[in-house]
């Protein structure tokens, strides 16, 4: 059974870089899905951040594209997110997820990790 687990700092200072990693277990990251990140500010809706394929091809949310770098490490079966120049508006629960290549169904989610941007 595939499981996703986010890890990373829960507190980031303004203007610094938010870094998160998602470890995939029970499934090979090479097996033909997109791997991605979503976030949800407290009390608000879901926002998709971006996706990465096993080859390293990326598909970033246009509104965040200038601040995002996503990467994948197939040897460690994990993928990562870096979001730079953060502000309080980036405070959110960050989820990693697996989505289908055809149809975009997000069929597996991590439990989520709260990242707070504050000095």
Burial of 7 (0-12, 13-18, 19+ CB in 10 A): middle
Task: Please identify, among the stretches 15-23, 55-63, 66-74, 77-85, the one whose residues bind other proteins according to the rule CB under 8 A.
Answer: 55-63
Q: What is the dihedral of CA 95, 98, 99, 101, to 10 degrees?
A: 140
Q: Is 42 in the site for other proteins (CB under 8 A)?
A: no
Residue of 115, 108, 71, 113 whose CA lies nearest to 90: 115
CB of 94 to other proteins, least distance (A): 11
> What is the total count of residues that contact other proteins (CB under 8 A)?
22
Q: Which residues bind other proteins (CB under 8 A)?
A: 34, 36, 38, 45-48, 51, 59, 61-62, 95, 99, 103-107, 109-112
């Amino acid at each position: 059974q595939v499981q996703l687990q986010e890890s990373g700092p829960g507190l980031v200072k303004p203007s610094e870089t938010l870094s998160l990693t998602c470890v995939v277990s029970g499934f090979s990251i090479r097996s033909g899905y997109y791997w991605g990140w979503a976030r949800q500010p407290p009390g608000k809706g879901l926002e998709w951040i971006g996706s990465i394929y096993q080859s390293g091809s990326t598909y970033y949310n246009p509104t965040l594209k200038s601040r995002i770098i996503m990467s994948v490490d197939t040897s460690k079966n994990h993928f990562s997110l870096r979001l730079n120049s953060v502000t309080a508006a980036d405070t959110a629960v960050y989820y990693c997820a697996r989505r289908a290549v055809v149809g975009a169904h997000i069929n597996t989610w991590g439990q989520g990790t709260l990242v707070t941007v504050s000095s």
